[in-house]
Amino acid sequence: MSNPSNAPTRTSAGDPHVSWSSPQRQIQFNQWLAGLPTELGLQPATLSLASVDASFRRYLRVESSRGSLVIMDAPPDKEDCKPFVQVDLLMQQAKLRVPEVLAWEQSLGFLLLTDLGTKTMLQAMDLAGEPPLVQYLEAVDMLIQWQLASKPDVLPPYDTALLRRELDLFPQWYIAQHRKVTLDHKQLKTLEDAFGRIIENNLSWPSVYVHRDFMPRNLMVSDQGLGLLDFQDAVYGPITYDIASLMRDAFLTWDEEFCLDVTIRYWQKARKAGLPVGDDFGTFYQGVEWMGLQRHLKIAGIFARLTLRDGKPQYLEDTPRFIHYIRSTCSRYMALKPLLRLVETIEGIEVPTAFAFGRF
């Protein structure tokens, strides 16, 4: 019986849950794996699925003579591995703990990498207990180390065009496709004005290397210290971005007091290290909030797209967190109040006016 080209096929060895998008992809993989240096001592029978991320990439784990290794499966028609390899080298030069690329078949999108372990910082947390300050401060030190390695004209710029493309995901996918709301002329003007202010504020900050998803889900915990993953989208942009990403996480929420504490500690360390975070923490924190706002508008759009286009509905479960971040930030700045009212209208949130009268 033939297998349709779009139906998953199973590997003949290893974890039976490792499937392939087509028989051709499986053949390419098996040939690539068999052609890797014998001194690696790979054991194909141990092949298993490690993880699948929000993109078209996925990761497999395989045993070898040097212990566990990871294979990135990134179909070249959907994913470009070159940025991953480039940023990986930059991070190694910055003395960060990242996977080492042992083999790369660029034309097929297969990479063999060293393994940073199986436990993320998120998985290592006791979410019901006290916030893990020590781990967050270790992440802060890693972030500063990465930013200190920054040089212009190495990574793509996080410029007006990119910030705008990201913001446009919110009306395109979250408002129109997910919420099924059609904005009128006045509402479109409100969104346009808010986007302009957000971009202007964000780009007023000096640029450094930006990971773009610097959060516990992408930090690996081990006896050797924190490791870092999912860095292929790194850019050169506002210094406020990665600390906003760390403390305004897409997948978990801490009390404002803890977020403020860690951000202050980051600012103090960064300032001492000579990074361009300014001399006034209040001004810096406002910049972080505005950067976080841009990020959560973007993420709301991305997660709606993952659900509606890519069939990954689990991401939208975190929508209430994004809306809370967006509303909290907008409520603190007069220039963002029109955006706050628009978001509340889209969400169907009724806010009592200041002059409400009870019944007599």
Nearest in space to 306 (alpha carbons), one of 217, 173, 175:
173
CA distance 157 to 163: 10
Nearest in space to 69 (alpha carbons), one of 92, 103, 105:
103
Domains of the chain: 9-114 (3.30.200.20), 121-347 (3.90.1200.10)
Cα 360 to chain centroid, rounded: 53
Q: Running along the chain, 360 residues long, what does each successive block of 10 average in pLDDT?
A: 30 53 86 92 90 75 93 90 96 96 93 93 84 94 98 97 97 96 97 97 98 95 92 97 94 91 98 98 97 96 92 85 93 96 93 48
Its pTM stands at 0.88
The edge-to-edge listing of strands for the beta sheet with 58-64 is 43-52, 58-64, 67-73, 110-114, 101-105
pLDDT (0 to 100) of residue 103: 95
